[in-house]
Amino acid sequence: MIVAIPIDAFKRVYHYNPCSATMFALYELTGERNDIRYQHIESKLNPWKKCEGEMVCDPKMKESSCDTDKSRDPHHIGEHYALLEVIGKCDYLITGQYCLNTFYAMRNVGIKIHKIPPFMKTTHEAMNHFIIGVEIADKLQNIHAVS
């Protein structure tokens, strides 16, 4: 299973709309229910960051919802699908907030969203919360990162 976490330039969990994140950390989960392991695969730059697009430059995009006019604009709806360039092979997106267009874009390609609370700052905290929250593990004592 592959999991994506939006992160900022300092590699902290980015809790705003993932479309405006700097990068995405990709993790692979392996193992069985009583021995879950996760490993950082790579961090990929948000496609909108590469071209300094509106999704990362516009402060309104950080919010958890697109404004009414944009949420109905077919061009803007399609912009949310650009994330699939970097997270398209993932099974889950772990994030703090997201807009409905992000939700629908991810759902339409089979990526589930797992919401985390705002006090999670590191990707390891986010991964542990995810594993516990989606009940992948039987026993908490055997969840650990692979170095």
For residue 144, is it within any domain?
no
Mean pLDDT, rounded, of the chain? 81
Q: What is the pLDDT of residues 49-62, one digit of tens each?
A: 776 655 554 555 55
Q: What is the pLDDT at residue 72?
A: 67
Cβ(52)–Cβ(26) under 8 Å?
A: no
Cβ(126)–Cβ(7) under 8 Å?
A: no
Q: What is the pLDDT of residues 91-130, one digit of tens each?
A: 999 998 888 888 888 999 999 999 999 899 999 999 988 8
For residue 145, is it within any domain?
no
> What domain count does the chain have?
1
Q: What predicted TM-score, i.e. pTM, was given to this entire model?
A: 0.83
Range of the domain at 121: 2-138
Q: What is the pLDDT at residue 44?
A: 94
Two tokens at 6? 């939006």
For residue 40, is it within any domain?
yes
Q: What is the pLDDT at residue 70?
A: 63
Cβ(126)–Cβ(29) under 8 Å?
A: no
Domain CATH code at residue 87:
3.30.420.130
Q: What is the pLDDT at residue 50?
A: 72
For residue 143, is it within any domain?
no
Q: What is the pLDDT at residue 95?
A: 92
Radius of gyration of the chain (CA): 15
Q: Distance between terminal CA atoms of the chain?
A: 18
